[in-house]
């Protein structure tokens, strides 16, 4: 068994979905696997136009990852430009990363790298619901992500990304 | 209102009214494409020792930290800023439009992913899920604000 086998099992059992770009002719360089929670938000069905608008914006943001566009990844959880695409979550030993979509209202998507260029996006929330860096909400958010990872990949740790260049191609370290 | 996505581009190609979600997607993509153009140019020139962030800032009358922010993500770009940044890099955009109707399906996953598991988009429950939100009123203001902004970029 390998983590690839587990990913295929998750896809078969619908514990994960492959999020391919909305525009089917786009090149695909990286792979994004999403939970049903994330899939529902970015693909609908939505019950109002606000969610449709915000979910579609996020879909495009995630497609930038899949399409292999240049993305910024920070070395540290806190010292980073506001505009960073992806950042590790404190503590970095947890190997959880945050996709940071700053369109309003800002959204955070948490997940981890299964291997280079393969990110598993597991949970999301509006940034405003998460409070400050030391808040209980952020801690619960991070712990929920770790629990979702363990549910699917109990035997496997995410990539550590100590060297960020090992996480993905075409990145800018910030 | 139940907004079920079927084929993503069907309305665009068929001439039907284009749903808000698709317009939001393509606005975001437009910004992302412009960003990609600028950041690639900048990095190419930076690697060649032809420019630094500070020099670019000086050329277009901005502060270095503004350049850092602008080059950090697509969300901060206005059309006037795009023009200034490209000009500061000694360029202007060569604009063209692609016909979406002519697009062809591409490779969508690495070969180790079992094709049986992704060939069709998953059929989730058709029952719309109330996603968590700030407040509907606030979210609506954002939608309206962005719609207005997109009309006058």
* A79 close contact with B: CB closer than 8 A: no
Q: How far is A99 from chain B (nearest CA, A)?
A: 12
Q: Could you read off the pLDDT of B93-130 as tens digits, one per residue?
A: 888 888 887 777 666 788 898 877 765 455 455 555 55
Strand partners, A118: A31, A115
Mean pLDDT in residue range A113-127: 97
Closest chain B CA to residue A60: B25
Please tell me whether the interface predicted TM-score (ipTM) of this complex is above 0.85. Answer: no
Q: How far is B52 from chain A (nearest CA, A)?
A: 15
Beta pairing, strands A171-173 & A71-73: parallel
Which of A17, A18, A29 is the best residue to mutate to test the B interface, defined by the most B CB atoms within 10 Å of its own CB? A18
| Cβ contact, residue pair B39, A172, below 8 Å | yes
Print burial letters for A99-138: b (CB count within 10 Å at least 16), e (below 16).
bbbbbbbbbbbbbbbbbebbbbbbbbbbbebbeeeeeeeb
Crossing angle for the helix pair A136-153 and A3-12, to the nearest 10 degrees: 100
Measured CA distances, B30 to A51, A125, B23, B78, B125 (Å): 20, 25, 10, 11, 31
Per-domain boundaries in chain A: 3-173
| Cβ contact, residue pair A103, B28, below 8 Å | yes
pLDDT at B131 over 50: yes
Mean pLDDT in residue range A69-86: 90
| Cβ contact, residue pair B117, A47, below 8 Å | no
For residue B86 the two structure tokens come to 């490209």
**The model scores a pTM over 0.80:** yes
């Amino acid at each position: 068994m390998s983590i690839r086998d587990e990913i295929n099992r998750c896809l078969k059992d619908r514990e994960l979905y492959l999020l391919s770009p909305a525009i089917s002719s786009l090149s695909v360089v990286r792979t994004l696997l999403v939970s049903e929670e994330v899939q529902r938000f970015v693909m609908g069905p939505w019950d109002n136009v606000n969610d449709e608008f915000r979910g579609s914006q996020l879909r495009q943001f995630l497609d930038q990852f899949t399409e292999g566009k240049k993305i910024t990844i920070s070395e540290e959880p806190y010292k980073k430009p506001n505009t960073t695409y992806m950042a590790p979550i404190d503590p970095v030993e947890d190997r959880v990363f945050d996709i940071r979509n700053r369109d309003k209202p800002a959204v955070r998507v948490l997940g981890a790298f299964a291997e280079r260029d393969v990110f598993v996006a597991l949970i999301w929330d509006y940034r405003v619901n998460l409070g400050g860096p030391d808040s209980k909400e952020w801690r619960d958010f991070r712990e929920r992500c770790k629990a979702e990872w363990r549910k699917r990949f109990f035997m496997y740790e995410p990539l550590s990304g100590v060297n960020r260049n090992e996480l993905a191609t075409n990145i800018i370290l910030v | 209102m139940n907004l079920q996505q079927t084929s993503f581009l069907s309305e665009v190609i068929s001439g039907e009214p284009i749903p808000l979600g698709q317009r939001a997607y393509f606005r975001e993509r437009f910004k992302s494409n412009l960003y990609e153009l600028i950041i690639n140019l900048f990095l190419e020139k930076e690697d060649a020792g032809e420019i630094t962030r500070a020099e670019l800032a000086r050329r277009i009358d901005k502060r270095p930290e503004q350049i850092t922010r602008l080059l950090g993500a697509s969300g901060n770009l206005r059309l006037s800023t795009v023009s200034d940044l490209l000009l500061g890099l000694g360029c202007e955009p060569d604009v063209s439009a692609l016909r979406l109707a002519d697009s062809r399906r591409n490779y969508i996953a690495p070969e180790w992913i079992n094709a049986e598991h992704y060939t069709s988009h998953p059929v989730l429950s058709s029952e719309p899920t109330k996603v968590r939100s700030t407040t509907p009123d606030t979210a609506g203001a954002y939608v309206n604000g962005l719609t207005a902004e997109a009309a006058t970029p």
